[in-house]
Structure 1
């Protein structure tokens, strides 16, 4: 198998939907399922973030009438449908269907067109970056996707190819950022950022809470819940078991 990995970066204002991720650094999305033909793409995305970020995301998602860079490339009118499968204050699971229009070509469409059946696609969105992973057979002609992508970038979008590897670094579905409620994920990220897990520690829970304007008890609770889920998930995956994300839900 070969993995094709690349990142598309967006300037502020280049795309309305990506602007939501740029404006809200705590917003994160990943594609958990994706299927495409040369006519239609179906996908399921999990999105987590603060409530105000998800409210902006919902508004932009509901207003899609033309091909967005989140769903494809080109800016042409599209036949677009989406449905919210799960809705929580800081989490969404969204199903969508997009029929490919003339000049509007999604990344999964390009994979289906150039690589044929049996191709797997994954994607992540965070900040200004939209990262793609494509897994295909060893003899797949990945250069065709490179040329098609590189020839269809519009102003404000930059393409960076990371690797073409025969040793795929395909991520494990059992443990991802979207499995934690946003507040707990944020607590872990703050702890790492401030050096809480370093030896020696650069900051205590009290110091981090004071710096970030969060009640110490709230930060401690969220971090404890997140650590409990991380520990049980790690133990479960080591034993070949799957630990449901609801084990961590306490303040979503």
Structure 2
């Protein structure tokens, strides 16, 4: 299994729900279930926060942002959102989307790259959507590249890993994750496709930390090769 965690950050004025949540920092919007096929998507989301934020989300329930489409303009798919439940401090939403040919979303890209076994979790706070993708083995580098090329927003990848590797006591998980992220990003290509400081920024860690982890991982690999 592979785990990919990243954040999509929306600029002011680019997304109505991002603007609304930015005005109410204590509010949250989180997916409870997300199912996707090649041409459709349906999901259940739970929002929590002050009444003003929940009222705003309920009022814009038909807005295009609920499609999760990464394309800011040109997405004309049919979309329907229904308020399932409203209580003090909580709002439950059901949404269904018939995808348009010009639209792309994180769930659709994940399914295309990893197949039907992919599991998705999304938490939206202020202007940032945090995605966690758990999927069978697949082309993680291609998925990362597609998300970056499609999204009309800032995308920061924080974790690209293999959870099963954590059982390996010889190479610490953080070093294994750093090494895998470096390979996926083209750090070891000639010429390099990314510098260490750029990769560290994408992973959200100091450059010195990334360099240390890579050196330790490289040392472990060299010893394994010689042995």
- Name the residue aligned to 1:71: 68
Inter-partner Cα distance in structure 2 for 1:110 and 1:128: 21
Inter-partner Cα distance in structure 1 for 2:3 and 2:27: 26
- Name the residue aligned to 2:29: 29
From 150, 156, 161, the counterpart of 2:157: 161
- Is residue 2:152 matched to residue 1:151? no
Contact between 1:18 and 1:70, CA under 8 Å: does it hold in 2? no
- Name the residue aligned to 1:196: none
Q: Which 5+ residue runs of structure 1 have no aligned equivalent?
A: 169-252
Question: What is the number of residues matched between the two proteins?
Answer: 162
Q: What TM-score, normalized by structure 1, do the two folds share?
A: 0.61
Q: What TM-score, normalized by structure 2, do the two folds share?
A: 0.68
Q: Any idea what the Cα deviations from partners look like across 1:6-61, whole Å, max 9, x if unmatched?
A: 00111211111211111111110110111101100111101001001111111222
Q: Which 5+ residue runs of structure 2 have no aligned equivalent?
A: 165-227
- Name the residue aligned to 1:3: 3
Contact between 2:67 and 2:79, CA under 8 Å: does it hold in 1? no
Inter-partner Cα distance in structure 2 for 1:144 and 1:83: 34
Contact between 2:66 and 2:95, CA under 8 Å: does it hold in 1? no
How far did residue 69 of structure 1 move?
Answer: 7.1
Inter-partner Cα distance in structure 2 for 1:59 and 1:18: 15
Runs of at least 4 residues off by over 2 Å: none
Contact between 1:29 and 1:46, CA under 8 Å: does it hold in 2? yes
Q: Any idea what the Cα deviations from partners look like across 1:81-125, whole Å, max 9, x if unmatched?
A: 111221113211111111111221111111111111110001000
- Name the residue aligned to 1:59: 59
How far did residue 159 of structure 1 move?
Answer: 0.5
Matches within 5 A, 1:169-208: none
